[in-house]
């Protein structure tokens, strides 16, 4: 499970706008705005959160920690 802060941080790491995340994930912009605006684990469908997480992971973001213990994000090391 990922937190709202991790979603915002992952977008910042990739320099993606909310519109870009919506396009890449196939999730509506208003739904993403709701996910980002809450604190902690956002409410909503687990499938939506999983889709957002998988979209970021495919773009090279790693989610670290747990929602209760040092949640964060980092970019995967390049294989080049």
| 58 token code pair | 């495919």
More reliable by pLDDT, 43 or 60: 60
pLDDT surpasses 80 at 60: yes
For residue 80, the model assigns a pLDDT of 46
Per residue in 9-50, pLDDT tens?
999 999 999 999 999 999 999 999 999 998 899 988 899 999
pTM: 0.91
Measured CA to CA, the distance from residue 57 to residue 34 in angstroms comes to: 21
In-domain check, residue 28 = yes
In-domain check, residue 49 = yes
Containing domain of residue 66, as a range? 4-75
Three-state secondary structure call for residue 62: strand
| 64 token code pair | 């670290």
Report the domain count for the chain. Answer: 1
Contacts of 32 (CB under 8 A, 6+ apart): 7, 18, 21, 22, 25, 52
In-domain check, residue 80 = no
CATH number of the CATH domain containing 29: 1.10.260.40
Inter-helix orientation angle 4-14/29-37, to 10°: 120
In-domain check, residue 61 = yes
| Local confidence band at 78 (pLDDT 50, 70, 90 cut-offs) | low
In-domain check, residue 60 = yes
């Amino acid at each position: 499970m990922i937190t709202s802060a991790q979603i915002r941080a992952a977008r910042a790491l990739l320099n993606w706008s909310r519109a870009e995340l919506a396009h890449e994930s196939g999730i509506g912009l208003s739904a993403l705005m709701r996910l980002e605006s809450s604190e902690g684990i956002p409410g909503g469908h687990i499938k939506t959160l999983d889709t957002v997480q998988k979209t970021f992971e495919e773009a090279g973001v790693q989610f670290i920690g747990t929602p209760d213990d040092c949640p964060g994000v980092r970019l995967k090391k390049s294989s080049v």
